[in-house]
Structure 1
């Protein structure tokens, strides 16, 4: 009898240990052989939403054991939003620890160059949980922008430098602006501020000029030279006469040939009519374009025109007569391609 009782106790103990192992530590997360899976929990999401997502994407071997342990650890009352990495073989205990501590995995947010506020909001809405409408509203709150970042509804676009950022998926619209503004502050270190001051430009004005340079060329070699052209014009009190600012004013960046009627458009962005820089950027300037303005080429060029060979490079000129010759070559190139607009 004693041996039998002992055997039963051992058997029951082993069964209990197995049950505990199965519920707590047994690998339960199932993921693809190509990498980890991710669980997205929206702000305000419930425990049922979490269960539904786990089951819909078949991420758990035994959903019932996860649910049983989660309820006993009071997870349903402590659901935290975010993007959570689910590694293969993760057990229920470890998974719940991650979810209850809010140990999110960040996302790589890629900000491409944009011209208008809705395009920025659209990019954010596609990659993060935040509502794009909320961001559009923020970007038009003049008082808030002035108090928080010392920008207005036009120059606010200078805060957003294209590039790659690490952000939490459930970043809100205000947090999004604050995060990218922080990157903007880090970009404007003491050396860049000194260079801007030596050019008699504010950081915002550097962004505006860099946005024009960026729209003029994609060639890194030409950017400092073009920046130098526009700076020479500014120093001499000449109008910039930048075609990309006209295209922004008429709302059509697909135009290949600027016509005289375009130069009559009534807009502060029409640099054929108005001296100086336009009131805001015509695209979000990247780091390369910004540094091209901050480190411009030194020369006497006042004019430039796209080369007729379609290479994307520009021909530069000191005199108007030389520029007219360059421009005629380019116009003949457009004529040969039957490009009228």
Structure 2
């Protein structure tokens, strides 16, 4: 009697399709999760300009995540936090690089992670403004940069360092600073800041400008010292070369400069006082150009490029006096003789007296 047939097993093909389906489903789920976490845009479109992430030196991942949780930075900050912790951002292998970073609109968590890991921070437009006294500079720089202001103050007071690195001293180092724009990293070391300023100074002093200074028998430092006086005397561009010519004529004749702004500098009155009194002319200081002939030992402010060029390219004339006009225009009247100058001065004083009476 033939053997009865055994039951036919279920086709293995069904199990294979089932496993394949589950696998594909899991892969699809994983791909979707990966897209959601890594590739989905997370930086919202810019509304009021680009968003900047500032990372201070020495901070860790928590500080970065706290900054990114601020409104307007990320659409889903929690997903970036997951990716950052998974990646180990802030660890020794993936350190947090300080700086200012622009958050590109539409960037994903992966793109943002790559940006922060690369350390490709932005430069910022730092504007160096004129200052009269050295102690004002660290405060000004610290408002725009993440900078060790104490270290900068110490470098500016280190005479041996200044002479060795910039061939200047604590009196003349202010000639290194030419007001204007600089491109700097937000976290900038004090020494790096000074070197950037020195590089701008070097670019300004071209071969042509050095030749112009030589023709006047002045060094670049002396040009800057005289330009600082011219700058404090007038804000009118057309009067600057005229006033520079007056002071150069006095220097050639061996006359004292008798520049009123130089009296206020040792009294710490620049920027706070408008008038010079007769008692100020008795101040015992090398900056008193009524008592001492020649240029003072250093500038009384940091001159703009226009003021420096006014000294390098002065107006050629025979004037040795000038006096502010009484119309308040900021222009001056120039004269060759003391008698003519006294007439202009009396007219100006009469104007001041009339203002007092009206008050």
Pick one of 142, 150, 153 that aligns with 1:133: 150
Structure 2 counterparts to residues 161-240 of structure 1, below 5 A: 161-240=178-257
Structure 2 counterparts to residues 292-331 of structure 1, below 5 A: 292-331=310-349
Q: Paired residues, what number? A: 339
Structure 2 counterparts to residues 95-110 of structure 1, below 5 A: 95-110=112-127
Partners in 2 of 1:177 and 1:13 — Cα distance? Answer: 56
CA deviation after TM superposition for structure 1 residue 73, in Å: 2.9
Partners in 1 of 2:121 and 2:18 — Cα distance? Answer: 51
Q: TM-score, normalised by structure 1?
A: 0.95
CA deviation after TM superposition for structure 1 residue 121, in Å: 1.1
Partners in 1 of 2:175 and 2:181 — Cα distance? Answer: 16
CA deviation after TM superposition for structure 1 residue 58, in Å: 5.2
CA deviation after TM superposition for structure 1 residue 3, in Å: 4.7
Partners in 2 of 1:259 and 1:118 — Cα distance? Answer: 26
Judge which range, 44-53 or 273-282, deviates more: 44-53
CA deviation after TM superposition for structure 1 residue 6, in Å: 4.0
SS in 2 for 1:44: coil
CA deviation after TM superposition for structure 1 residue 30, in Å: 3.4
User: Which sections of structure 2, spanning at least 5 residues, go unmatched?
Assistant: 1-13
Q: TM-score, normalised by structure 2?
A: 0.91
SS in 2 for 1:96: helix
Judge which range, 113-122 or 218-227, deviates more: 113-122
Kindly name which structure, 1 or 2, has the bigger radius of gyration based on alpha carbons: 2
Pick one of 129, 132, 136 that aligns with 1:115: 132
Partners in 1 of 2:301 and 2:256 — Cα distance? Answer: 20
Contact residue 41 and residue 83 of structure 1 kept, 8 A: yes
| 1:262 is the counterpart of 2:262 | no
| 1:75 is the counterpart of 2:97 | no
| 1:33 is the counterpart of 2:51 | no
Pick one of 48, 57, 65 that aligns with 1:51: 65
CA deviation after TM superposition for structure 1 residue 74, in Å: 3.0
| 1:12 is the counterpart of 2:26 | yes
CA deviation after TM superposition for structure 1 residue 132, in Å: 1.9
SS in 1 for 2:181: strand
CA deviation after TM superposition for structure 1 residue 8, in Å: 3.3
C-alpha RMSD over aligned residues: 1.5
Deviations 1:133-192 (A, max 9, x none): 221111001111111100001111111110111110001111111101111011111001
Partners in 2 of 1:10 and 1:35 — Cα distance? Answer: 43
Partners in 2 of 1:334 and 1:120 — Cα distance? Answer: 35
SS in 2 for 1:227: helix
Partners in 2 of 1:57 and 1:38 — Cα distance? Answer: 12
CA deviation after TM superposition for structure 1 residue 249, in Å: 2.3
Contact residue 31 and residue 37 of structure 1 kept, 8 A: no
Partners in 2 of 1:338 and 1:282 — Cα distance? Answer: 30
SS in 2 for 1:337: helix
Partners in 2 of 1:59 and 1:309 — Cα distance? Answer: 54
Judge which range, 327-336 or 68-77, deviates more: 68-77
Structure 2 counterparts to residues 270-289 of structure 1, below 5 A: 270-289=288-307
Partners in 2 of 1:260 and 1:221 — Cα distance? Answer: 29
SS in 2 for 1:315: strand
Partners in 2 of 1:7 and 1:73 — Cα distance? Answer: 30
Partners in 1 of 2:82 and 2:276 — Cα distance? Answer: 69
Match of 1:159 in 2: 176
SS in 1 for 2:254: coil
Contact residue 31 and residue 59 of structure 1 kept, 8 A: no
